[in-house]
Amino acid sequence: MKNRLKVLRAENDMTQAQLAEETGVSRQTINAIEKGKFDPSLPLAFRFAKLFKMSIEDIFAHED
Amino acid sequence: MKTQKHSGISKNKPITFHLGLWTFAWVLSIAFVTFGSKYLWEFNPTITVIMILISSLVGIGVIITNRKYIKQIDELQRKILLDAMGVSLGVAVIGGISYSMLDTTNVIDFDAEISHLVILIGLTYLAGVLIGNARYK
């Protein structure tokens, strides 16, 4: 699954640690998601969407 | 850009501490049964059974607290721990049965001790957690 998390985080001038704090996960989790190594749960995806005021589809895209 | 913060990570410290306390109490109870039966109550079966029951109850406390811990930790950490547990379970079943067969067929000279299996499970779990953490670093 591809995602725009790193770009959105940069656009909002946030560090991985800040994004982790805002969404209640570890910085390691944010890093793993940004690198595409780990797919977040649906509740966490919703938290990202709420934080960036976007839909989940605008942040995450499925790749075949 | 601020939203309501989620305190998933900060909640972990008390539950980790509780898990540590329960595990310590359980290890202590095992030591008490092992050495107490020999040095304190000289293998009195009634006292031994009572102490084993107490130790088992503390063990149930460890299981319940561990379950709470798994539910509360960060989702990536949960995945790493569950993956490690899955591998440990597989190694425990396959390794345990193979080890037992080696004993029953007299391929090995010594008895297959459960403690060897527990050590194997512990090391497998530890390796699984370390590899998982390295993978998602």
Contacts for B49-56: CB closer than 8 Å, 24+ residues apart: B54/B29, B55/B26, B55/B29, B55/B30
Q: Which residues on chain B are in Cβ contact (under 8 Å) with A22?
A: 2-3, 5-6
Q: Are residues B78 and B137 in the same domain?
A: yes
* Residue contacts between A and B (CB atoms, under 8 Å): 53
CB atoms within 10 A of CB B40: 11
Q: Are residues B91 and B68 in the same domain?
A: no
Please give the domain boundaries of chain A with CATH numbers for all domains: 2-56 (1.10.260.40)
**HSE toward the beta carbon, residue B130, CA cutoff 13 A:** 6
pLDDT in tens, A16-41: 999 999 999 999 999 999 999 999 99
Question: Range of B17's domain?
Answer: 11-73
Cβ within 8 Å, pair A25-B7: no
pLDDT in tens, B49-87: 999 999 999 999 999 999 999 999 999 999 999 999 999
Q: Is residue B4 part of a domain?
A: no
CB nearest B6 (choices: A23, A40, A41): A23
Q: Are residues B58 and B84 in the same domain?
A: no
Q: Which residues on chain A are in Cβ contact (under 8 Å) with B79?
A: 38
Q: Are residues B46 and B86 in the same domain?
A: no
Q: Are residues B92 and B122 in the same domain?
A: yes
- Count of structural domains within chain B: 2
How far is CA B131 from its chain centroid?
18
CB nearest B3 (choices: A25, A31, A50): A50
Q: Is residue B3 part of a domain?
A: no
Q: Are residues B90 and B34 in the same domain?
A: no
ipTM of model = 0.89
Q: Which residues on chain B are in Cβ contact (under 8 Å) with A40?
A: 75
